[in-house]
Amino acid sequence: MESNAKNAVTREIVLAAVTENSWVLEYASAEMQADREIVLAAVKQSGWALEYASAELQADREIVLAAVTKNGWVLEYVSPELQADREIVLAAATESGGALKFASTELWADREFVLAAVTKNGWALKYASAELQADREIVLAAVTSSGGALEYTSAELQADREIVLAAVTESGWALKYASSELRADREFVLAAVTKNGWALKYASSELRADREFVLAVVAKNGLNLKLTA
């Protein structure tokens, strides 16, 4: 009886502790790490707590969904079955595009799924199959969401004016990953700089040294002058 009472008190203390600070779960007993209520409370406080949950609870759909919604990267600690679960992986990729790294390889090549993932978070493109990284619709959706995702597409699409302009509009430094031809294209770079002044930093050195071009860029926005150096 006394032992049961002590365990109940211990459990109450751990539950209160993980609700306040999920990292406490790392130092809890195996019994507490396998306690569904305690682990659910912990991952709701911070998804990272899932790393210290029992294997059984790392395969618990409700707990995993709560965890990846808070922090997508914890998909790494999820059971293989749930790493192939479309809803779970999409929730993880929405929170952190890089989480797709830990999804099943079947999902990397699933066009419908990847399109949904990159629409939520363009960085997910990094882990899509090579075929899908060269898919124009998917890439356009990805760079519209996260311009820097241009880094992970095919050379052909890095030379696509519409795609690069969409990427630069979202993030000026995305011009860094455009083809050398586009970075040296006066008309295109001027259009890109009009959308986002930071694009000028990655224009070709020839353009940034072109007096007439620099004057046109500065006329758009005087602050661009510091990016021509």
Dump pLDDT digits (tens) for 41-63: 999 999 999 999 999 999 999 99
11 class by beta-carbon count within 10 Å (0-12 exposed, 13-18 middle, 19+ buried): middle
State mean pLDDT over 140-166.
95
Q: Is the pLDDT of residue 1 over 50?
A: no
Q: Is the pLDDT of residue 151 over 90?
A: yes
Q: Is the pLDDT of residue 227 over 70?
A: no
pLDDT band at 209 (very low <50, low <70, confident <90, very high): confident
pLDDT band at 69 (very low <50, low <70, confident <90, very high): very high
Domains in the chain: how many in total?
Answer: 1
Q: Do the Cβ atoms of 42 and 25 come closer than 8 Å? A: yes
Per-residue pLDDT at 2: 41
Rounded-to-integer distance, Cα 149 and Cα 142, Å: 6
Q: Do the Cβ atoms of 97 and 146 come closer than 8 Å? A: yes
11-25, 133-147, 186-200: least confident range: 186-200
49 in a domain, yes or no?
yes
Q: How many CA atoms lie within 13 A of 63 on its CB side?
A: 27
Per-residue pLDDT at 123: 92
Mean pLDDT of the chain: 89
DSSP string of the chain, one letter each residue? -HHHHHHHHHHHHHHHHHHH-GGGGGGS-HHHHT-HHHHHHHHHH-GGGGGGS-TTGGG-HHHHHHHHHH-GGGGGGS-TTGGG-HHHHHHHHHH-GGGGGGS-HHHHT-HHHHHHHHHH-GGGGGGS-HHHHT-HHHHHHHHHH-GGGGGGS-TTGGG-HHHHHHHHHH-GGGGGGS-HHHHT-HHHHHHHHHH-GGGGGGS-HHHHT-HHHHHHHHHH-GGGGGG--
82 in a domain, yes or no?
yes
Task: Note the pTM of the prediction, 2 decimals.
Answer: 0.76
41 in a domain, yes or no?
yes
CA angle 59, 62, 63 (to 5 degrees): 65
Domain that holds residue 68: 1-94
The amino acid sitting at 190 is: L
90 in a domain, yes or no?
yes
77-86, 142-151, 155-164, 188-197: least confident range: 188-197
